[in-house]
Structure 1
Amino acid sequence: MIVRTLEECENSERRVATETWESTRMLLKDDQMGFSFHITTIYANKETHIHYKNHLESVYCMSGNGEIETLSDGKVYQIRPGTLYILDKHDEHMLRGGTEDMKMACVFNPPLSGKEVHDKDGVYPVDNS
């Protein structure tokens, strides 16, 4: 059994931060569960270009507000507590924080190894190790 607290993970190398978001990666590839689980904060009034070409992701908003825009068709979806969005087609999108930080629970398949950040195209690299 694996037991971790958010607090202990936030105070470890499992926390990764950028100018637009921070992510505490509570479950990673080396835990051998077949997916990774993260608590991610999208900062208010910040925008991030994302295109997970190598991963599928499900995201549940626990608090805050914002929006996601799919770049293929320009559709904009409002995000608030209780919203789940699923990037089941490797959807390229813009993720925007609203008037307050959004706290999100995220699941990735395949799992992340821990230190990934988006490249210039919004992609996380694939870890083939």
Structure 2
Amino acid sequence: VAFTTEEIRKFPFGPNEKAPANITDRLVPWRFMIGFAALLTAGMIGVRVYQQIFAWSAGLDYFEPEFQTYWMTFLYSEWVMEVILATAVWGYIWVTRDRHLDQLQPAEELRRYFRLVALIFAYVFV
């Protein structure tokens, strides 16, 4: 179902009421989405540059001792960073969650959905 800007402006209000003009401009978190995509892109470029620099000097053959030294250490450190980051993010989400969802305003709920979709788009883009 597609909605026009005018219909979205009326959403959390009655049929004859209008939301402030800037409410729909704040629904899509463009800076957040672009910033998150840029952060992911920078991280992946850093990993790719590291792989390119050490590919021939450290070797890509699993049976070589250099592979264990560089690539497996890199993989293990990546796993540790992912566990730490996931624990921090989910801990933050759990501690700062809204405890009164029954009092959540429709405009705030819609803003949260837009932020979730922005995160998904940024992650899929990278």
User: What is the TM-score with the length of structure 2 in the denominator?
Assistant: 0.19
Structure number with higher helix proportion: 2
Structure number with higher strand proportion: 1
